């Protein structure tokens, strides 16, 4: 299995690469690193084509990029990275990137309003990747820090179920403990979510895999996020359910991303992973 990473040859880019390489080492993946020579590329998802727009820093010091990537691999005690080199171009300055990987690290600036990125804003193009991707997308923490456990933000939607399935898969690859965090909404208590798991044939897996299940009031969701351990990989679905799915995306995911310093692994509605 491979994880696709677009490398930025800066100190912040190094931190993001460290997070990718650590994730790969922990989950037994191979990093596939793209050192861009152009500020734009087309990402060919199964049901969509997204133009990814990078900032100028992604093109900085191309002569040292490969050596620095391999130095990070050496520091993490992994074999040197495989590098993606585009073979096809839609225009001379617009390379095509076909999706042949299992995970992807989200570039840090592919937002239409880049000034809002630091405040947790998730732009339309990132949303399109989340929505169309059949694989999980990693949003690294601002500074690399190893994670030692897995937390699932479980809200009861179909994508939350997929997030739990992904957590089970990663638990089997890494042996890391898994915890669930659920914000109770209205009359939905633990029994409601237990029935949901039973409906999706997850009860047995839940009992074998999940070490703790934390239920908290949804009245002050942001403050409740303080309960999430600082050394956790957080997994959640990108969309909710019903007519308010876009609202759920905009509020819940962006709140979590802007509040928690943890790496965030996002599962969209087209995720096809298995346990």
Considering the domain architecture, whether residues 66 and 90 belong to the same structural domain is answered as yes
Domain boundary among 80, 113, 139: 139
Tell me what the mean pLDDT of segment 120-141 comes to: 81
pLDDT bucket at 46, cuts 50 / 70 / 90: confident
Strand partners, 212: 179
Number of independent structural domains in the chain: 2
pLDDT digits (tens, 9 = 90+) for 90-122: 999 999 999 989 999 998 755 444 445 444 556
275 in any annotated domain: no
Bridge-based pairing of strands 82-84 and 30-34 is parallel
pLDDT: is 3 or 126 the higher one?
3
Could you give phi then psi for residue 82, rounded to 5 degrees? Answer: -90, 140
One domain for residues 212 and 248? yes
Rounded Cα–Cα distance for residues 179 and 189 (Å): 17
User: The domain spanning residue 252 has which CATH number?
Assistant: 3.40.50.620
Same domain assignment for residues 19 and 121: yes
> Is the residue at 197 inside a domain?
yes
161 inside domain: yes
Q: Is residue 160 part of a domain?
A: yes
For residue 139, list its beta bridge partners: 264
pLDDT more than 90, % of the chain: 53
Looking at per-residue pLDDT, the higher value among 15 and 187 belongs to 15
The answer to which of 16-25, 39-48, 106-115, 228-237 has the lowest mean pLDDT is 106-115
**Which residues touch 12 (CB under 8 Å, ≥6 apart)?**
108, 142
pLDDT per residue as tens digits for the range 170-197: 999 999 999 999 887 767 778 888 888 8
Residues 6 and 118 in one domain: yes
| Domain extent for 183 | 149-267
**Does residue 249 carry a pLDDT above 70?**
no
Q: Which of 118, 139, 160 is the last residue of a domain?
A: 139
Mean pLDDT of 79-83: 90
**pLDDT class for 228, splitting at 50, 70, 90?**
very high
Residue 157 forms part of a structural domain = yes
Asked if residue 123 and residue 93 are part of one domain, the reply reads: yes
Verify that 188 and 135 share a domain, yes or no: no
pLDDT of residue 239: 65
Beta bridge partners of 34: 6, 84
Across 8-136, the runs of DSSP E, i.e. the strands, are: 30-34, 40-44, 49-53, 82-84, 89-91, 94-98, 103-105
CATH number at residue 88: 3.40.50
Which whole number is the average pLDDT over 17-32? Answer: 96
Instruction: Tell me, yes or no, whether 272 lies in a domain.
Output: no
% residues pLDDT > 70 (the chain) = 88
Q: What is the mean pLDDT of residues 234-253?
A: 60
At residue 220, the pLDDT reads: 81
- Contact indicator for 110, 123 with CB cutoff of 8 Å: yes
Averaged pLDDT, 29-43: 95
pLDDT tens, residue by residue, 138-180: 999 989 999 999 999 988 788 888 999 999 999 999 999 999 9
Chain-centroid distance of CA 46 in Å reads 18
273 assigned to some structural domain: no
Same domain, 124 and 156: no
| Same structural domain, 169 and 87 | no
* Angle in degrees, CA 59, 17, 103, rounded to 5: 105
Residue 25 lies in a domain: yes
**Residue 178 sits in the same domain as residue 107:** no
Q: Are 153 and 68 in a shared domain?
A: no
Q: Label residue 218 by pLDDT band (50, 70, 90).
A: low
Q: Are residues 126 and 165 in the same domain?
A: no
The last residue of a domain, from among 105, 139, 173: 139
- Same domain membership, residue 13 and residue 124: yes
């Amino acid at each position: 299995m491979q994880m696709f990473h677009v490398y930025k040859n800066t100190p912040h880019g190094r931190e993001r690469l460290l997070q990718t390489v650590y994730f790969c080492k922990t989950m037994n993946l191979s990093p596939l690193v793209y050192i861009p020579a152009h500020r734009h590329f087309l990402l060919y998802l199964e049901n969509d084509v997204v133009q990814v727009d990078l900032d100028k820093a992604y093109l900085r010091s191309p002569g040292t990029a490969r050596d620095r990537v391999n130095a990070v691999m050496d520091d993490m005690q992994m074999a040197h990275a495989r590098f993606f080199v585009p073979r096809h171009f839609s225009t001379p300055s617009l390379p095509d990137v076909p999706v042949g990987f299992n995970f992807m690290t989200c570039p840090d600036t592919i937002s239409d309003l880049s000034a809002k990125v630091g405040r947790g804003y998730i732009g339309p193009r990132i949303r399109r990747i989340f929505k169309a991707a059949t694989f999980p997308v990693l949003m690294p923490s601002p500074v690399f820090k190893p994670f030692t456990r897995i937390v699932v933000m479980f809200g009861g939607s179909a994508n939350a179920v997929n997030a739990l399935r992904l957590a089970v898969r990663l638990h089997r690859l890494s042996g890391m403990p898994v915890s669930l965090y659920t914000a109770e909404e209205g009359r939905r208590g633990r029994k409601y979510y237990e029935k949901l798991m039973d409906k999706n044939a997850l009860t047995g897996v839940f009992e074998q895999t999940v070490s703790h299940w934390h239920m908290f009031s949804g009245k002050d969701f942001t403050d409740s996020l303080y309960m999430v351990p600082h050394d956790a990989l957080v997994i959640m679905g990108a969309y909710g359910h019903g007519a308010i799915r876009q609202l759920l995306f905009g509020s819940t995911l962006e709140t979590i991303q802007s509040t928690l310093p943890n790496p965030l692994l996002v599962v969209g509605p087209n995720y096809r992973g298995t346990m």
